[in-house]
Structures are given as C-alpha cells and as structure tokens.
Amino acid sequence: MDLEESTIRHARPAAPVAASSGNALLDLLRRQAPVALLDQAEPVELQAGRLLQARGEPAPWAWFPVDAVASVLSVMRNGQALEVAMVGAEGMVGAEACLAELPAGHDVVVQIPGRAWRVPRETLHQACREEPACHATALQCTLALLAQATQGAACNRLHCIEQQLCRWLLSAAERQRGEELPMTQERLAAALGVRREGVTESARRLQDAGLIRYSRGRIRLTDREGLAARACECYHALRGVSLAGGARSSARAHGACVDSQFK
C-alpha cells in the first residue's frame, strides 16, 4: 500500500501554516522550531479506515489531526486489532519516528474522518535534532500515547463495556470539533475489543438515559456531564495527560482561520 498517496485526499497545494493550524501540538512545535522547518506543513483530508503508518515500515510523514481522529492499533497475527490509543487535535501520529531513525512501531488508521496536516518526517526529525525543546515535545507526545496504552490495558480488564464506551465517546469527541461522531457499533466494538452485542446493549442504555442519540452510523453526544458521570476513572485519569488539554477549545476558537486553510 502506498501510504503517501492512498491514505489522503489533498485539500489544496502545500502552503505555510497560518497563525493557528487547529492542532495544538503543531502550533507548539512551530513556536519551538525555526519557522522554515515547519513551513512544509500540508493540509489534507483524511478518510475513515485509511492507513497512516504501518508497523515495521518507514513512516515518511508525521500527521497532525485537526478534526480527524486516528487510532493506534495493536494487531495480532490473525488480523484482529485492538485500539490502544487515539490521536486528535491535541497530538500527532509519528512522534516516535521523529525521535530516531526507526520504522513505525504500530499500525495507525483514521477512525473518524476529517482534516489534518502532514509534515515530512525528516523535517521534524531535523527539528528534534537541532532544537532540544522540539525533542522534549516529541518525547512527551510519545509518553502520552504510552500512558493511554497502559491505562487502556487496565480499563479493558477491569471496567464494564458501558464504562469503556462512555470513556471512548468522550475522548473521541474531545479530539474532534463537534458533538456528532460518525461511528458504527461494529467499529466501536472493534476499537474496544468487545462483542458488538455488548456495545449495542450499552449504547441502548445510554440512549434511553438521554446521554446519546444514535442513528444510521452516527452518534451524537447529548449530555457530556452525564456520560462523564458514567465513565470509568480511566477517562478522568487521562484527561490531563495530553500535551495541550486546550486543543479542542483552541480549534473552535480559531475555526474560521483553520477553515480558510483547507479550502
């Protein structure tokens, strides 16, 4: 599979990133690195299910979602996959490859379609070599993904499907601009590593309680506070882990500026 061309639809030709990119981590790196190193950022539209990086293969790009959400997967020999972390407007895909000349450690696919920026991996690798602050930021991003994976392992073992579902929906919504998630129950079950019947029953209870509204592969969060009250402690534990907790509010605040860059 050609990761460079098969996973995206170009929004427009490459152009310098404006005052706000819509991704908090990209904005942070731009402040830390020489401007010329990150002016190669290119706006793209990502489609659901597309592969951004493949385990064991070179990762030519670093990806910075704006309102797309990507899933970091652990894939078994039989093809079964489990989401171990998610990345949205607070972070990036490919941080570990920017720190060292190593192949990708995990498969990463687009879970929720939307917009993103991509930057040549070598550009960010150079920035991390030359600027200690960039290196520290990429390392912190990698550690944040590790924290998601370790907390998620405990969550999958110790908490019920309904609690996991509340955690996932809230975490995904906080990484995407808007209250509606284009997700089928089948894809939710795959992400959580549980049977679809369990997701169906849990989603029905949440809808009956007025916390979500589900219709034709789309889930609208109608009561975030109610979902947070039902979510397990893992959701609350991970909220402060990301580099930029204000990513979602920042993206909304600069929405018009971001929209103009993807036309």
In sequence order, the 6+-apart residues with CB closer than 8 A to the CB of 170 are 221, 224, 227, 228, 231, 235
Least confident of 2-6, 46-50, 230-234, 259-263: 2-6
> What's the mean pLDDT when you consider all of the chain?
85
The residue among 113 and 10 whose pLDDT is bigger is 113
pLDDT attached to residue 38: 63
> Which residue in this structure is represented by tokens 């990806």?
63
Q: Which tokens go with 51?
A: 């592969």
Residue 25 in contact with residue 245, Cβ under 8 Å? Answer: no
Q: For residue 112, list its beta bridge partners.
A: 69
pLDDT attached to residue 257: 54
91-142 pLDDT per residue, tens? 999 988 888 877 888 899 999 999 999 999 999 998 898 899 999 999 999 9
The pTM for the full model equals 0.85
> Which residue in this structure is represented by tokens 């989603």?
203
213-256 pLDDT per residue, tens? 998 889 999 999 999 999 999 998 888 665 444 444 444 444 55
> Which residue in this structure is represented by tokens 């941080």?
95
Name all domains of the chain by residue range, CATH numbers in brackets: 3-154 (2.60.120.10), 159-238 (1.10.10.10)
pLDDT surpassing 50 at residue 69? yes
pLDDT attached to residue 110: 97
153-171 pLDDT per residue, tens? 999 889 999 999 999 999 9
Longest dimension (CA), the chain: 54
pLDDT surpassing 70 at residue 261? no
In sequence order, the 6+-apart residues with CB closer than 8 A to the CB of 52 are 3, 7, 46, 61, 63, 70, 93, 94, 108, 109, 110
